[in-house]
Amino acid sequence: MEEKKDARQLKGLSDQLMEMYVANLLSKHNVDIEKAKLQITKEQRAQLRKTAEQLKAQVDEYLESKKTQKMPKTEEKNAGQVNPLREAFIQRRMNKERGKNE
């Protein structure tokens, strides 16, 4: 459930960033949005839609791959293994205790 919420938030953020970027680009070059809409041909509109759909599919695929890819927990990853540094500290402590007991 939380993953869907995160995905929606990411989509909302990307949409906002894209709108802001496009608006900034158009205003920078003094382009009137309404005039530009009238000048775009049907083929260009179709190509833009196709590109947007492909990008959306790629983003969805990427999010799915990240969702299915799980990072192993360090505890599970290191189960049964002793860190060499930890082992050295344990050995050192044992040697000190032996020296005190003698």
User: What string of pLDDT tens digits covers the 102 residues of the chain?
Assistant: 666 777 788 778 878 888 888 888 888 999 888 888 888 899 999 998 899 889 888 888 888 887 777 655 555 555 567 788 888 888 888 888 887 766
Which pLDDT does position 36 carry in this prediction?
A: 83
Residue 79: left (phi > 0), alpha (psi -120 to 50), or beta? beta
Which pLDDT does position 75 carry in this prediction?
A: 53
φ and ψ at residue 83, rounded to 5 degrees: -65, 130
Burial string for 75-92 (b: 16+ CB within 10 Å, else e) reads eeeeeeeeeeeeeeeeee
d(CA 102, CA 1): 62
Which pLDDT does position 73 carry in this prediction?
A: 59
d(CA 88, CA 81): 14
